[in-house]
Amino acid sequence: MSERKPYPSDLSDEQWALIEPVIAAWKAGRRSVSGHWGSYVMREIVNAILCQGRTGCQWGYLPHDLPPGSATYYYSARWRDDGTARKICVLLRWHVRESKGRLADPSLVVLDTQSVHAAAGVSASTTGRDAAKKVPGRKRALAVDVLGLVIAVVVLAASTHDNTAGIALLDRGTVTKAPADQGFKNSVVEHGARLGIDVEIVERNPANRGFVPQPKRWIAEQTYGTLMLHRRLVRDYEHLPASSESRVYWAMTAVMSRRLAHGPAPSWRSA
């Protein structure tokens, strides 16, 4: 990595050591016929992706001492399309779970959805209006484990019913139990039953006033809160829903690699 003043979002040596084997294997399989490895340091490309995710800046506004937006976007899109971004996230999740004495794959996930506004440049064909939450944009659906780690993410138009999002999430995992909020209906429960998954709809106590954390379901809310520390996710700026999903994987990669390297966790407020 070239000598420059580091940004808070930069990977430490310990974090990069966790990610580098996947990136190095990917790069080795795409060496040019002339044997050229490319002009950019892969660690700096990842730093640029994480910097943009944390700050929310546009591609053309990336700091000048990081790789240019055109190069960063190229690799981000390649890693989105061939599953590398998700692969890194999955491997780190396995590592975190095993470090906590758990099996690599969970048996229980919590399902939840979040509707976020879409930026002006996002295609109307991939957005809609969430009638219940009165949010025009996209719906981000997560399946998270008991540690709050993302198991699966699906991004759809905000007008899409939670049932559709829940069914898509269940199709992406192999679990036995899935608590979900009351926005999910019988079709999700029935689809889960066909897959051998016990979907439990956690009803809100009508006597409660204001925000009251629900058993198990609060874990998904906590994960959404953590993702909101990454400003690129506060609003959906991505033209493709697949890019929005990839952004979630990169945000979780930053969170999990920091945990594994025992680095300082990002907080809502500085001291």
Give the integer Cα–Cα distance in Å for 78 and 81. 5
Tell me the three state secondary structure of residue 196: coil
**β-bridge pairing 150-157 and 135-144:** antiparallel
Average pLDDT, the chain: 90
Nearest Cα to Cα of residue 266 among 220, 225, 219: 225
Q: What is the value of pTM for the model shown? A: 0.90
Q: Which residue segments constitute the domains of the chain, with CATH numbers given? A: 103-238 (3.30.420.10)
pLDDT digits (tens, 9 = 90+) for 86-125: 999 999 999 999 999 999 999 999 999 999 999 998 999 9
Task: Please indicate whether residue 205 or residue 252 has the higher confidence score (pLDDT).
Answer: 252
Which whole number is the average pLDDT over 147-162? 96
Residue 179 pLDDT > 70: yes
CB contact set of 225 (below 8 Å; sequence gap of 6+): none
Give the integer Cα–Cα distance in Å for 18 and 127. 35
